[in-house]
Amino acid sequence: MNLTQEEWVSQFEADENAVILDVRTEDECNQGIIEGAINIDIHKGQEFVDAINALDKSKNYYVYCRSGMRSAKACEIMNELGIENAYNLLGGVIEWDGDLV
Protein backbone atom coordinates (compact mmCIF):
# COMPACT_ATOMS: atom_id res chain seq x y z
CA MET A 1 0.00 0.00 0.00
CA ASN A 2 1.34 3.42 -0.96
CA LEU A 3 1.25 6.13 1.69
CA THR A 4 2.21 9.79 1.58
CA GLN A 5 4.92 10.82 4.02
CA GLU A 6 2.32 12.31 6.35
CA GLU A 7 0.22 9.11 6.31
CA TRP A 8 3.32 6.89 6.60
CA VAL A 9 4.69 8.77 9.63
CA SER A 10 1.39 9.13 11.48
CA GLN A 11 0.50 5.48 10.91
CA PHE A 12 3.99 4.33 11.91
CA GLU A 13 4.02 6.43 15.07
CA ALA A 14 0.68 4.96 16.18
CA ASP A 15 1.73 1.37 15.35
CA GLU A 16 3.19 -0.66 18.23
CA ASN A 17 3.93 -3.49 15.79
CA ALA A 18 5.94 -1.41 13.31
CA VAL A 19 9.29 -2.06 11.64
CA ILE A 20 10.97 0.43 9.28
CA LEU A 21 12.65 -1.27 6.34
CA ASP A 22 15.17 0.46 4.06
CA VAL A 23 15.65 -1.45 0.78
CA ARG A 24 18.46 0.74 -0.60
CA THR A 25 22.08 -0.26 -1.16
CA GLU A 26 24.65 -0.09 1.62
CA ASP A 27 26.29 2.92 -0.07
CA GLU A 28 22.96 4.77 -0.12
CA CYS A 29 22.34 3.92 3.54
CA ASN A 30 25.74 5.30 4.46
CA GLN A 31 24.45 8.71 3.32
CA GLY A 32 21.77 8.56 6.04
CA ILE A 33 18.83 6.40 7.05
CA ILE A 34 15.58 6.97 8.89
CA GLU A 35 16.28 6.32 12.57
CA GLY A 36 15.57 2.74 13.63
CA ALA A 37 15.39 1.35 10.09
CA ILE A 38 16.77 -2.04 9.19
CA ASN A 39 18.43 -2.40 5.79
CA ILE A 40 17.78 -5.24 3.36
CA ASP A 41 19.06 -4.36 -0.14
CA ILE A 42 16.46 -5.28 -2.79
CA HIS A 43 19.24 -5.56 -5.41
CA LYS A 44 20.60 -8.66 -3.64
CA GLY A 45 18.08 -10.93 -5.40
CA GLN A 46 17.68 -14.28 -3.64
CA GLU A 47 19.49 -12.95 -0.57
CA PHE A 48 16.77 -10.26 -0.34
CA VAL A 49 14.00 -12.86 -0.70
CA ASP A 50 15.61 -15.07 1.97
CA ALA A 51 15.94 -12.10 4.36
CA ILE A 52 12.30 -11.09 3.79
CA ASN A 53 11.19 -14.69 4.35
CA ALA A 54 13.00 -14.66 7.71
CA LEU A 55 11.09 -11.57 8.93
CA ASP A 56 8.27 -11.80 11.44
CA LYS A 57 5.15 -11.90 9.25
CA SER A 58 2.98 -10.59 12.09
CA LYS A 59 4.74 -7.20 12.08
CA ASN A 60 3.79 -4.16 10.00
CA TYR A 61 6.55 -2.99 7.67
CA TYR A 62 7.11 0.62 6.64
CA VAL A 63 9.28 0.39 3.55
CA TYR A 64 11.29 3.06 1.77
CA CYS A 65 14.05 3.55 -0.78
CA ARG A 66 15.47 6.59 -2.55
CA SER A 67 12.45 7.53 -4.68
CA GLY A 68 9.69 5.05 -3.82
CA MET A 69 10.10 2.77 -6.85
CA ARG A 70 12.20 -0.04 -5.33
CA SER A 71 10.21 0.07 -2.10
CA ALA A 72 6.96 -0.33 -4.08
CA LYS A 73 8.47 -3.44 -5.69
CA ALA A 74 9.68 -4.65 -2.28
CA CYS A 75 6.15 -4.32 -0.90
CA GLU A 76 4.83 -6.45 -3.78
CA ILE A 77 7.45 -9.12 -3.07
CA MET A 78 6.67 -8.98 0.66
CA ASN A 79 2.94 -9.46 -0.05
CA GLU A 80 3.75 -12.47 -2.25
CA LEU A 81 5.84 -13.93 0.59
CA GLY A 82 3.01 -13.65 3.10
CA ILE A 83 3.65 -10.25 4.71
CA GLU A 84 0.28 -8.58 4.41
CA ASN A 85 1.10 -5.22 5.96
CA ALA A 86 3.84 -3.54 3.93
CA TYR A 87 3.51 0.21 3.46
CA ASN A 88 5.47 2.05 0.77
CA LEU A 89 6.71 5.59 1.39
CA LEU A 90 5.73 7.60 -1.70
CA GLY A 91 8.58 9.82 -2.88
CA GLY A 92 11.15 7.89 -0.86
CA VAL A 93 13.97 9.37 1.14
CA ILE A 94 14.66 12.14 -1.40
CA GLU A 95 11.34 13.76 -0.39
CA TRP A 96 11.73 12.91 3.29
CA ASP A 97 11.18 15.91 5.60
CA GLY A 98 12.36 14.19 8.76
CA ASP A 99 15.81 13.59 10.17
CA LEU A 100 18.27 11.02 8.85
CA VAL A 101 20.92 9.42 11.04
Residues known to be catalytic? 65
Q: 58 has which bridge partners?
A: none
Distance set, CA 29 to CA 10, 22, 58, 64, 78 (Å): 23, 8, 26, 11, 21
Q: 64 has which bridge partners?
A: 22
Cβ atoms 71, 64 nearer than 8 A = yes
Number of CB atoms found within 10 A of residue 58's CB: 9
